[in-house]
Amino acid sequence: MADLGTVGRVVTGAVALAGGYVAGTVRDAQGAPARRRLGLYHRGRLSYSNSAYSDATSGAYQIACHVTDDQAEHVVVCLDDGAAPVQNDLILGRVTGV
Protein backbone atom coordinates (compact mmCIF):
# COMPACT_ATOMS: atom_id res chain seq x y z
CA MET A 1 0.00 0.00 0.00
CA ALA A 2 1.01 3.59 -0.49
CA ASP A 3 2.83 5.59 2.16
CA LEU A 4 1.54 9.14 2.59
CA GLY A 5 4.90 10.43 3.74
CA THR A 6 5.06 13.76 5.50
CA VAL A 7 2.07 15.98 4.88
CA GLY A 8 1.48 19.45 6.18
CA ARG A 9 3.00 20.62 9.42
CA VAL A 10 1.73 21.81 12.76
CA VAL A 11 1.36 25.57 12.86
CA THR A 12 1.83 27.25 16.22
CA GLY A 13 -0.11 30.38 17.08
CA ALA A 14 -3.03 31.84 15.18
CA VAL A 15 -2.71 32.44 11.48
CA ALA A 16 -5.07 34.17 9.06
CA LEU A 17 -4.53 33.02 5.49
CA ALA A 18 -6.84 33.25 2.51
CA GLY A 19 -5.75 29.76 1.57
CA GLY A 20 -3.18 27.12 2.26
CA TYR A 21 -2.17 23.64 1.26
CA VAL A 22 -1.29 20.17 2.46
CA ALA A 23 1.58 18.48 0.61
CA GLY A 24 3.57 15.28 0.67
CA THR A 25 4.75 12.27 -1.31
CA VAL A 26 2.96 8.98 -1.98
CA ARG A 27 4.98 5.76 -2.32
CA ASP A 28 3.82 2.26 -3.11
CA ALA A 29 4.52 -0.85 -1.01
CA GLN A 30 7.96 -1.21 -2.62
CA GLY A 31 8.86 2.40 -1.85
CA ALA A 32 8.54 3.70 -5.40
CA PRO A 33 6.69 6.98 -6.11
CA ALA A 34 3.05 6.28 -6.94
CA ARG A 35 0.06 8.02 -8.53
CA ARG A 36 -2.93 7.92 -6.20
CA ARG A 37 -6.08 9.95 -5.66
CA LEU A 38 -6.14 11.86 -2.39
CA GLY A 39 -9.04 13.55 -0.67
CA LEU A 40 -8.91 16.24 2.00
CA TYR A 41 -11.63 16.58 4.65
CA HIS A 42 -12.12 19.17 7.38
CA ARG A 43 -11.73 17.15 10.58
CA GLY A 44 -14.05 19.19 12.81
CA ARG A 45 -16.97 19.25 10.37
CA LEU A 46 -16.19 15.96 8.57
CA SER A 47 -16.79 17.83 5.33
CA TYR A 48 -15.05 17.47 1.98
CA SER A 49 -12.50 20.20 1.26
CA ASN A 50 -10.62 19.24 -1.91
CA SER A 51 -8.85 16.43 -3.80
CA ALA A 52 -5.83 15.87 -6.03
CA TYR A 53 -3.75 13.17 -7.68
CA SER A 54 -0.15 12.54 -6.75
CA ASP A 55 2.39 12.79 -9.57
CA ALA A 56 3.16 9.41 -11.17
CA THR A 57 6.89 10.16 -11.51
CA SER A 58 7.68 11.80 -8.17
CA GLY A 59 4.69 10.78 -6.01
CA ALA A 60 4.41 14.42 -4.92
CA TYR A 61 1.02 16.01 -4.25
CA GLN A 62 -0.32 19.33 -3.07
CA ILE A 63 -3.94 19.87 -2.05
CA ALA A 64 -5.29 23.39 -1.61
CA CYS A 65 -7.21 24.03 1.60
CA HIS A 66 -8.66 27.03 3.41
CA VAL A 67 -6.67 27.90 6.53
CA THR A 68 -8.37 30.14 9.09
CA ASP A 69 -6.48 29.40 12.30
CA ASP A 70 -4.32 26.76 13.93
CA GLN A 71 -7.41 24.73 14.85
CA ALA A 72 -8.25 23.94 11.20
CA GLU A 73 -7.24 20.28 11.24
CA HIS A 74 -7.82 18.12 8.18
CA VAL A 75 -7.83 14.42 7.35
CA VAL A 76 -6.06 13.14 4.22
CA VAL A 77 -7.46 10.00 2.57
CA CYS A 78 -5.26 8.16 0.06
CA LEU A 79 -7.19 5.74 -2.14
CA ASP A 80 -5.62 2.47 -3.24
CA ASP A 81 -5.23 2.12 -7.01
CA GLY A 82 -7.16 -1.15 -7.09
CA ALA A 83 -4.38 -3.13 -8.79
CA ALA A 84 -3.64 -6.53 -7.29
CA PRO A 85 -3.02 -7.00 -4.50
CA VAL A 86 -5.83 -4.79 -3.27
CA GLN A 87 -4.84 -2.81 -0.17
CA ASN A 88 -6.78 -0.75 2.35
CA ASP A 89 -7.02 2.99 1.76
CA LEU A 90 -4.83 5.12 4.03
CA ILE A 91 -6.01 7.86 6.36
CA LEU A 92 -3.73 10.47 7.92
CA GLY A 93 -5.44 12.62 10.54
CA ARG A 94 -4.80 15.88 12.39
CA VAL A 95 -3.04 17.53 9.44
CA THR A 96 -2.83 21.32 9.48
CA GLY A 97 -2.45 23.18 6.21
CA VAL A 98 0.34 25.68 5.73
Q: Is the pLDDT of residue 38 over 80?
A: yes
For the segment 66-96, what is each residue's pLDDT rounded down to a tens digit? 766 556 788 999 999 888 788 889 998 888 8
pLDDT, average across residues 57-63: 94
Which residue type, as a one-letter code, is found at position 79?
L
Within 10 Å of residue 76's Cβ, how many Cβ atoms? 24
Q: What is the pTM of this model?
A: 0.73
95 φ/ψ angles, rounded to the nearest 5 degrees: -95, 130
Question: Domains plus CATH for the chain?
Answer: 20-96 (2.60.40)
- Coil, strand or helix: which one is 55? coil
If we measure between CA atoms, which residue out of 18, 40, 55, 31 comes closest to residue 95?
A: 40
**In the sheet where 90-96 sits, what is the strand order?**
47-53, 37-42, 73-78, 90-96
Q: Is the pLDDT of residue 58 over 50?
A: yes
